[in-house]
Amino acid sequence: MTPSQRFLAACRRQPVDRTPVWFMRQAGRIFPEFRALRRQYGFVELMQHPDLCAEITVMPVERLGVDAAILFADIMTPLQPLGVDYRIEPGVGPVVGQPLAAAADLGRLRRFDPREELAPVLETVRLVRRALGDRVPLIGFAGAPFTLACYLIEGRPSREFHRARALMYGDPAFWHGLMERLAETVLDYLRAQVEAGVQAVQLFDSWVGGLGPAAYRRFVLPYSRRVLEGLGDLGVPRIHFGTGNAALLPLMAQAGAEVVGVDWRVDLDRAWEAIGPDKAIQGNLDPAALLAPFDQVEEQARDVLRRAAGRPGHIFNLGHGVLPETPVDHLRRLVELVHRVTERPAEP
Ligand code: 1CP
């Protein structure tokens, strides 16, 4: 099997010759070449250079041997044409110029066509597909409406997103209006990525774990579902990732993706019971394990693989993004380990 076939088959819970593996946040932050580029360009400026973004996207495929590439962009990328002024501050993350606070602010959000206003990102997709050919598939992505709403309301990374949660309960007209606009924007953007050539999509709901199941069901699920189901006719596998609260997994599994991505705070076998047998699962090595000596990485990785053994539909990944200080060589050896441990003889 080629890595492309391996990854796409696992998404569909079909048998594979080895467990496919890739790492969230594998493009960029871990490579010295990226850090050198960042001294030259601001992050938002870098997005205007499809040739450089394509190079960063392909780098982990060549250096680490992973079975999939993920587009080099950011969850904030579609917010600029929406009319949101933001910058990426080193050591902090996205910072929004004028956070949203009330229904009147929704009037600031523009309608736009991603084919025009996000043309450089879509050009990156085309360049990457040309560079990769059929070697490995390219995963497109977007932030889920809830996680984007958190940044738009808080204005910067926050530990608990108190303001966003307070507005969710306190001003439902604003909340639902905002989530509707974000769902529509994210859906258009992901559809444009698929048209440009991405072969799978991941919806990142990185901060959703701050909610309980009842709030998730009422304030978030309908909008994530609108995005994921809105991609249904395109035939590409959909991965839905969230962190922080395993109690949400059964609900996230109802949002319409083929694959549920799980973080490291839950045992993979338990997570699979929670999402049910009709979904594939992606995860979930603790990214911090990679900062330990490699024998510990191996022990933890084997535990993840043991919990997934014997059933098709596992995509090995970390439980959240790879940490910037991770040794590149640990990642390379981890890919090799996952492939070696899970290798199955070819069907006769
Ligand atoms: O593989 C890659 O890293 C390349 C593509 C990529 C992806 C998939 C980037 C580039 N960002 C993302 C997704 C992303 N961005 C998420 C979802 C995944 C996750 O939870 O990790 C989130 C929450 C963001 C928001 C964001 N953008 C942060 C995190 C802030 C926080 O609160 O922890 C940061 C630091 C950024 C900027 C950013 N995006 C990407 C890079 C390489 C960077 C750093 C830029 C720099 O050099 O300063």
Domain of residue 202, CATH code: 3.20.20.210
The best mutation among 58, 59, 74 to test binding of ligand 1, ranked by most ligand atoms within 8 Å of the C-beta, falls on 74
- Within a domain: residue 348? no
Q: Is the CB of 244 under 6 A from ligand 1?
A: no
Question: Is 90 a pocket residue for ligand 1 (Cβ < 6 Å)?
Answer: yes
The whole-number pLDDT of residue 226 equals 98
**347 domain-assigned:** no
Say how many Å lie between the CA of residue 346 and the centre of ligand 1.
38
Distance in angstroms (rounded) separating the CA atoms of residues 189 and 84: 16
Residue 250: in which H helix or E strand, if any? helix 249-252
Does the annotation count 135 as an active-site position?
A: no
Check pocket membership of 67 for ligand 1, CB cut-off 6 A.
Answer: no
**What pLDDT score does 105 carry?**
96
**Which pLDDT score, from 0 to 100, does residue 247 have?**
97
Atom of ligand 1 nearest to the CA of 38: 47
pLDDT value of residue 342: 97
The owner of tokens 């990374």 is 157
Rounded to 5°, angle at Cα 339 from 302 and 124: 115
* Residue of minimum CA distance from atom 32 in ligand 1: 157
DSSP three-state, residue 172: helix
Give the helix/strand (H/E) hosting 70.
strand 69-70
- Assess if residue 320 is contained within a domain: yes
163 is in an annotated binding site: no
Instruction: Tell me if 252 is assigned to some domain.
Output: yes
- What residue type is 138 in one-letter code? L
Question: In the chain, which residues have pLDDT < 70?
Answer: 346-348
Q: Using the CB atoms, write b or e for 317-338: b if 16+ within 10 Å.
A: bbbbbbeeebeeebbebbbebb
Paired residues of 143 in beta bridges:
204
pLDDT value, residue 346: 60
**pLDDT tens track for 136-145:** 999 999 999 9
Ligand 1: does its nearest atom lie under 6 Å from the Cβ of 58?
A: no
**Catalytic residue flag (residue 17):** no
28 is in an annotated binding site: yes
* Residue 107 within any structural domain of the chain: yes
The reported pLDDT for the residue numbered 90 is 87
Tell me if residue 151 is catalytic: yes
- Tell me, what's the pLDDT at 347? 61
| Whole-number Å distance between alpha carbons of 175 and 68 | 35
Q: Is the CB of 209 under 6 A from ligand 1?
A: no
Classify residue 135: in a domain, yes or no: yes
Cα→Cα distances 229→9, 112, 222, Å: 20, 21, 10
> Which structural domain range is residue 31 located in?
3-342
Q: What residue's CA is closest to ligand 1, atom 35?
A: 93
Is 206 annotated to bind a ligand? Reply is yes
Nearest ligand 1 atom to the CA of 321 is 21
Quote the DSSP letter at residue 325.
T
Cα separation of 118 and 303, whole Å? 41
25 is in an annotated binding site: yes
- 77 neighbors 121 (Cβ within 8 angstroms): yes
25 lines ligand 1 (CB under 6 A): yes
pLDDT at position 28: 87
Q: Please identify, by atom number, the ligand 1 atom nearest to the C-alpha of residue 60.
A: 1
Is 223 designated active site?
Answer: no
Q: How many domains does the chain have?
A: 1
Q: What is the pLDDT, as a whole number, of residue 272?
A: 97
Judge whether 95 lies within some domain.
yes
Residue 285: its H or E element: strand 280-285
SS3 211: coil
190 occurs within a structural domain: yes
Is the shortest distance between the CB of 218 and ligand 1 below 6 Å? no
Whether the model pTM is above 0.95: yes
